[in-house]
A and B are shown apart, each in its own frame.
Chain A
């Protein structure tokens, strides 16, 4: 056993496709590490996953990984139409990297996952799959969207079952990290939120990470799957969405007037990460994808 030289160990990152988000994340989603995105439904988790799967195909000089990606989805159906839409705008803005008849969607391998045991089965088959992919475009990104769906219904609320559930978390996380290390992959996992009822913050009054409490759509929430899963991921990002009422100055024919408009405010927070300080930024979702907004 020899120690690795730290000077040769550079952590590669995969760009998110937006320079503002990349700046927040110090380059993008890191390789050899599990990054978790926590949000309620409709906040943009799948958008980021799709966007990342496309941008991973960019050459390394442009922040990508020059790689194909493995997309494991647990919620049905897979958003093929949205992927095609994003693909079109991705191709038009990065036309010089791809030959004319090339379809970036060919390099995203989609697999549906039904239960946690199914996921473990798939991961044992992933090893040879990634090994073989080295001949064409190697797989360097694994996306699991979402991990919460696998565990929400199969387990009762008794201590024995919860213990079994958390040992499954560690098993899955351990396998993912071993894969990530062996092939230098970036792993992106999405998670859902549960409502927080009661005066305490977090489950049992427990605070995890930089934010005292996570707010979205005017509710207090916390990430699903609890403390055990929080120990299994390396970094956690939180997407919040809120409806804000803002004043907008409008010039109308009879002079200036102001309207109160409801606007969707979306923010990305760093909850915890070993290399990132506490920070947040606003973003928006357009037809072309998910982009940060500089205010």
Chain B
């Protein structure tokens, strides 16, 4: 966990320590261009340092922290782990802001809204954005897309993938004028190949698939996000035994949470909206009931406000309640283009 153990030259080590980078975890979430600027070295040198650091981190066992209970971690280590986790951007800066950088890994995020608000679009955008390579601030991972409704259209995913690659090339051109090596070699077809697409037609298939994901993920360790669109469709039919439905749903949620934690990936569940019959009036609520609402870590509600689409953080242990505007364009999810948009803090 120490810098002085890294196989780099003495002058580089000196620069790292004098700039304040004393442990490996502090190097885990910085990009090479920022590091180059801080150490006043060339970008390729910074790149090398980061590569060496990540190699050492990978081969090291975390026996430095002694724990009282087997498998337990100290809160300090957990804080370091959390800081080093990356987020999956949604391609809308406002949305990323209220999400604290993007969709969190190791957590289950539920996103719900009325039909036509952009849930499937957001799902596809996340499945594409998880593949953004490390050099561009992404996770460079693959995605699993579980389609229960048949809303996934390949041509739309292709459109979004194309736009993502174009954006990466723009970024490349503006910020890395001297760094030739990082050319975009990705094609939209490559992005589509890295999305593992499952189509399921009944709730038994859904449960079977989620049980199978354990095995699938141990074979494909580079999957970094699971998107389920939508998790509720097959459960809204007649269940003779509602208690069975609640048990099945909580079992499923538990499994997904386990997968998220074990494989360090993000789980995104898309949900529908229903009307709740309260004493006097009808209220809108996410489907599947109250017991389901406890099972997800984060909850985001998408809604219309006038002519704009808004996202609202309904529940989160670490983010404050806020709402932000976004729009669905031909290129995918982007910032809302209205000039009077504002992020409302609650």
**How many Å lie between the Cα of A53 and that of B272 in the bound state?**
32
Q: How far is the CA of A30 from the CA of B154 in the complex (A)?
A: 12
Determine if A1 and B114 form an interchain contact, defined as CB atoms under 8 angstroms apart. no
List residues 50-72 of chain A with CB under 8 A from any CB of chain B: none
Contact of A128 with B by CB under 8 A: no
Instruction: From known contacts A274-B121, A274-B153, A277-B330, infer whether A3 and B197 are also in contact, taking CB-CB under 8 Å.
Output: yes
In the complex the two chains form, is A274's CB within 8 Å of B152's CB? yes
B209, CB-defined interface residue at 8 Å: yes
Report the minimum CB–CB distance from B214 to chain A (whole Å): 12
- Residue A210 is within 8 A (CB to CB) of chain B in the complex: yes
Interfacial chain A residues near B121, Cβ < 8 Å: 274
- Chain B residues near A3: list those with CB within 8 A: 144, 196-198
Q: Does B193 lie within 8 Å of A170, measured CB to CB?
A: no
Among A11, A30, A164, the most chain B Cβ lie within 10 Å of the Cβ of A11
CB-nearest residue of chain A to B306: A212
User: Once bound together, how far apart are the Cα atoms of A170 and B282, in whole Å?
Assistant: 20
Select A204's contact among B115, B149, B196, B282, beta carbons within 8 Å. B282
Q: Are B193 and A177 in contact (CB under 8 A)?
A: no
> Which has the most chain A C-beta neighbours within 10 Å: B120, B150, B153, B198?
B150
> Does chain A have a CB within 8 A of B192?
yes
On whether A6 and B154 interact (CB within 8 A), knowing A174-B202, A208-B115, A274-B121, the answer reads yes
Min Cβ gap A25→B in Å is: 12
A9 touching B197 in the complex, CB below 8 Å, given contacts A170-B236, A209-B115? yes
Question: Judging by beta carbons under 8 Å apart, are A1 and B209 in contact?
Answer: yes
A286 contacts the other chain (Cβ, under 8 Å)? no
Question: Does A237 have its Cβ within 8 Å of any Cβ on chain B?
Answer: no
Query: Within 8 Å of chain A (Cβ to Cβ): is B274?
Result: yes
Contact partner of A10 (CB less than 8 A), chosen from B116, B154, B198, B282, is B154
Pairwise interchain contact A7-B192, C-beta atoms closer than 8 A: yes
Whether a CB of chain A sits under 8 angstroms from the CB of B169 is: no
- Assuming the contacts A11-B155, A207-B114, A231-B115, asked whether A174 and B234 have C-beta atoms less than 8 A apart, the reply is yes
A81 to B189, CA, bound (A): 48
- Known A-B contacts A9-B154, A11-B154, A274-B120; the reply to A206 vs B284 at CB < 8 A is yes
- Answer whether residue A152 sits at the interface, using C-beta atoms and an 8 A cutoff: no
Contact across chains for B272 and A180 when beta carbons are under 8 A apart: no
Inter-subunit contact A234/B150 (CB<8 Å):
yes
Residues of B within 8 A of A206 (CB): 114, 284
Instruction: Determine the chain B residues whose CB is within 8 A of the CB of A166 once the complex forms.
Output: 236, 274
B116/A271 in contact, CB under 8 A: yes
Which one, B116, B150, B274, B307, contacts A181 given CB within 8 A?
Answer: B150
Q: In the assembled complex, which residues on chain B have CB atoms less than 8 Å from the CB atom of A167?
A: 236-238
Say yes or no: is A227 at the interface (Cβ < 8 Å to chain B): yes
Complex contact B201–A178 (CB within 8 A): yes
Is the Cβ of A6 less than 8 Å from the Cβ of B149? Answer: no
- Asked if A174 meets B275 with Cβ closer than 8 Å, knowing A30-B153, A231-B115, the reply is no
**Those of B132-177 within 8 Å (CB) of chain A:** 144, 149-157
Minimal Cβ-Cβ distance residue in B for A205: B284
Q: Which residue of the partner chain B has the closest CB to A177?
A: B150
Taken residue by residue from 222 to 239, chain B's Cβ proximity to chain A (1 for < 8 Å, 0 otherwise) reads as: 000000000001101110
List chain A residues, Cβ under 8 A from B144. Answer: 3
A145 part of interface (Cβ distance < 8 Å): no
Complex contacts, B208 vs chain A, CB 8 Å: 1
Determine if B304 is an interface residue (Cβ-Cβ < 8 Å).
yes
A210 to B152, CA, bound (A): 19
In the complex the two chains form, is A7's CB within 8 Å of B189's CB? yes
* B195 within 8 Å of A (CB atoms): yes
Which residues 206-257 in B have Cβ within 8 Å of A in the complex? Answer: 208-209, 212, 216, 233-234, 236-238
CB distance from A82 to the nearest CB of B (A): 31
> Given known contacts A4-B197, A6-B154, A167-B238, is B149 in contact with A177 (CB within 8 Å)?
yes
Shortest CB distance A143–B (Å):
18
Q: Shortest CB–CB separation between residue B196 and chain A, in angstroms?
A: 4
Tell me whether B151 and A234 are in contact (CB under 8 A): yes
Nearest CB in chain B: distance from A33 CB, A: 5
Question: From residue B120, how far is it (CB to closest CB) to chain A in Å?
Answer: 5
State the CA gap A156–B192 with chains docked (Å).
47
Give 10 pairs: A residue, B residue, CB < 8 Å, sorted on A.
A3-B198, A170-B236, A171-B238, A174-B202, A177-B149, A178-B202, A208-B116, A230-B114, A233-B115, A271-B116
Q: Other than A1-B212, A234-B151, give 18 A-B pairs with Cβ distance below 8 A.
A: A5-B193, A6-B197, A9-B197, A26-B155, A159-B277, A166-B236, A171-B237, A174-B202, A181-B199, A181-B201, A208-B114, A209-B116, A212-B307, A227-B273, A272-B116, A275-B153, A275-B156, A277-B330
